[in-house]
Every structure is written in C-alpha cells, then in structure tokens.
C-alpha cells in the first residue's frame, strides 16, 4: 500500500515543475474542470490535520510507512485502485477532495535547496493551464491576476497546514504511537480473508500504554482528538472494500 508515481523526485501528481512568471506565462490561462484526472489510479492521497473532520466521514485515514510518515486518505485497498475517481478523472462517488489534490497543478517550492523563499510553481504538462483562449488569465499584463493571487493564497494556506500536520506526526513518532497496520476483511463466500498491510496506524494498545501526563498533554494540544478521528475513520475500510469489489 505504497504511494507511487512516475517521477519519485517530484511530489505526488506532478510530472514537471517550473516557476510561474509573467515573462514565460503572460498569456497563460487556467481552466476549471469537474474531473480530476491526476487522481485516477491513485489509491492514497496526503491529508492535512485540518481536513481530518471532513475526510474521516468518507475515507480511512492512515499513515504512510515512510521514515517520515504522512497522513493519507485511503481511496483504494490496492495500488492503482481508486474507488472514487474513474480513469478519466470523473468522480464515481460522493467524496471529499483533499487540499493536496485541489492545489494541483500549482504548489509552492524552493527553486534552490539553499533558498528560504518559496516560489509559486506549476506543472506545465497539465491540461488545466496553458496559452489557450478559454479559462481565467493568470496574469494581467505583468502583474498576477486575481485568480493567480487566489491560487497563491491557497498554496500558502496549504503550507501552513502542512507544517501543523508535520508537528502532529512528530508527536506520534515522539511517543512511539505509530505501529504497522493491518486490515483483515472476510467477505461472505470467500474461503480466506483479504489482508492489507503496508501502512501505519495508532492502536488502542499504544494509547493505553501512555502515562496520564502524556495523555493530558496530547489532549491539551489537540492531538488526541486527531488520533480519535483517525481511529474512527478506519471503520470506513469496509465501504472501500465493498466499492472496490463491485468494480472488479
């Protein structure tokens, strides 16, 4: 249950990244769409902690098995399976779209590793942006358009949320709360249950092993509420399994 992509040196979804500027992109427009082709065949998408309340109603919230774990909205139980998004990007079921996916094809990035300033970048391979006639302009002359300013603001808010999410995960790691997870689902008529691994989760056993002082600190920081939302969301895995079984 790993998050994979064509170019592992770039963030998930992005095939190329270039800094957005009026010199090269003055004639560029951005189209709106009711599809998300970049999410097709992607079974897990990163989440920020501020999205847990909405996401947990629809997806199991798990954590990646990477050395630096990140929360993920699980959209399919197997790599390449997304029960919510069709191959063409059309939505097959009602869902919450994570902010990580909504910001595509834009993001804030450092042009050089040593730089502190983040620059607004874009994936030029996306069919949502380009020098076409339709859509909203990204520049008004040499100045960013209102649409471009709105995109920048959203990406800035995402970066703040990402830092808060990293701080939450750091707490989980500090208190050794993340453990290798497993989903076991027995479908009626199957001789053997289906078992899914390759992710991390917080178990009751791990929580119960904490001292009262640590639990109080986690509660005060808001981390305990996020943990409970994560745990409650795991019950949705049966819905994912049912939807995925129907599409096979």
- Could you tell me if residue 114 is inside a domain? no
Binned at pLDDT 50, 70 and 90, residue 243 comes out as confident
User: From CA 57, how far away is CA 233, in angstroms rounded?
Assistant: 7
DSSP conformational letter for 145: P
- Over the stretch 37-49, which tens digit does the pLDDT of each residue have? 999 999 999 999 9
Q: Kindly report the number of other CB atoms within 10 A of residue 103's CB atom.
A: 17
Average pLDDT (169-196) is: 85
User: From CA 151, how far away is CA 230, in angstroms rounded?
Assistant: 29
Total count of domains within the chain: 1
At residue 5, the pLDDT reads 43
Q: Is the pLDDT of residue 207 over 70?
A: yes
- Could you tell me if residue 22 is inside a domain? no
User: From CA 146, how far away is CA 157, in angstroms rounded?
Assistant: 17
- Could you tell me if residue 28 is inside a domain? no
What is the number of residues in the chain? 248
Computed over every residue of the chain, the mean pLDDT equals 91
Residue 173's domain comprises: 34-103+152-247
Q: Name the 3-class secondary structure at 1.
A: coil
**Dihedral sign, CA of 80, 82, 86, 89?**
negative
- Could you tell me if residue 78 is inside a domain? yes
Nearest one of 2, 5, 229 to 125, comparing CA atoms: 5
User: From CA 22, how far away is CA 120, in angstroms rounded?
Assistant: 12
* Model confidence, pTM: 0.90
């Amino acid at each position: 249950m790993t998050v994979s992509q064509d170019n592992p040196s770039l963030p998930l979804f992005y095939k190329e990244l270039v800094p957005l500027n009026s010199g090269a992109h003055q004639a560029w427009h951005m189209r709106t769409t009711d599809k998300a082709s970049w999410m097709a065949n992607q079974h897990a998408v990163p989440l920020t902690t501020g999205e847990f309340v909405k996401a947990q109603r629809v997806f199991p919230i798990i954590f990646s098995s990477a050395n630096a774990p990140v929360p993920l909205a699980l959209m399919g139980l197997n790599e390449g399976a997304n029960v919510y998004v069709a191959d063409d990007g059309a939505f097959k079921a009602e869902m919450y779209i994570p902010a990580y996916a909504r910001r595509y094809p834009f993001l804030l990035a450092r042009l050089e590793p040593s730089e502190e300033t983040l620059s607004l970048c874009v994936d030029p391979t996306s069919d949502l942006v380009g020098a076409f006639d339709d859509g909203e302009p990204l520049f008004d002359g040499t100045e960013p358009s209102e649409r471009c300013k709105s995109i920048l603001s959203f990406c800035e808010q995402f970066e703040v949320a990402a830092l808060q999410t990293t701080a939450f995960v750091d707490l989980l790691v500090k208190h050794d709360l993340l453990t290798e997870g497993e989903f076991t689902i027995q479908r009626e008529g199957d001789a053997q249950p289906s078992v899914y691994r390759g992710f991390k989760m917080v178990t009751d056993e791990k929580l119960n092993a904490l001292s009262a002082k640590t639990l109080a600190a986690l509660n005060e920081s808001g981390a305990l509420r996020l943990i409970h939302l994560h745990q409650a969301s795991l019950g949705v895995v049966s819905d994912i399994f049912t939807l995925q079984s129907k599409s096979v």
